[in-house]
Amino acid sequence: MNVRKISTITELVFTEGGRAVPAPVRTAVVLAVIENPWAGQGFVQDLAPGIDSVASDLGALLAPRVVEALGAPVEAYGKAAIVGLDGEVEHGSALIHTLKFGDHFRKAASATTLLPAVEKRAPAGATFDIPLKHITDATIRSHHQSIEVRLGDAPRPDEIIIGLAAAAQGRPQARLAPLSSEQ
């Protein structure tokens, strides 16, 4: 795995809708810009060797960093892969949609639900929204949220941005009725 850089973004929201929130709403994102392990190989049918050589190490690298950056217990989480223009969306999907990657974050966050994800192919500087859901119950509406991120110089055509996002709570000023109220 060749990492060009790691970026950490933290956010504290103090007001929403013109009203103060009871406590600052904390969100953190850690992004690794890596060389696409399939770059320059043309169409690769069997992605397993690249997954085996990168996914677990990448999950182990990012999971503790995003938890540390959040600085609070994780209540919502998500993941992302943004592939440079010379790669395929499947390259990013291959790295993040495996237990070898995701279980590092599940363990670090004491989570049991599937990690929501976004993946796409885009040029450097593209904006993307990482979806987040509750770590143990994906039906908890207050924790359905997203965080917008971008890196001005990534991904280069032969790179992939892999990211993890964490929130210490639900959306600021969340007030939707529970899903069970509609069933």
The secondary structure of the chain, three-state, reads CCEEEEEEEEEEEEEECCEEEEEEEEEEEEEEEEECCCCCCCCCCCCHHHHHHHHHHHHHHHHHHHHHHHCCCCCEEEEEEEECCCCCHHHHHHHHCCHHHHHHHHHHHCCCCCCCEEEEECCCCCCEEEEEEECCCCCCHHHCEEEEECCCCCCCCCEEEEEEEEECCCCCCCCCCCHHHHC
Calpha distance 14→173 (Å, rounded): 11
Calpha distance 37→69 (Å, rounded): 27
Residue extents of the structural domains in the chain:
3-182
Which CATH number is associated with domain 3-182? 3.30.1330.110
Confidence (pLDDT) at 183 = 72
Give 66-119 pLDDT, tens digit per residue.
999 999 999 999 999 999 999 999 999 999 999 999 999 999 999 999 999 999
Place of tokens 């039906």: 139
Mean pLDDT of 33-44: 94
Q: Are 35 and 9 in contact (CB under 8 A)?
A: no
pLDDT band at 24 (very low <50, low <70, confident <90, very high): very high
Mean pLDDT of 124-142: 95
pTM: 0.95
In this prediction, what percent of the chain has a pLDDT beyond 70?
100
Residues 6+ apart with CB under 8 A from 104: 56, 59, 60, 62, 63
Residue 40: pLDDT over 90: no
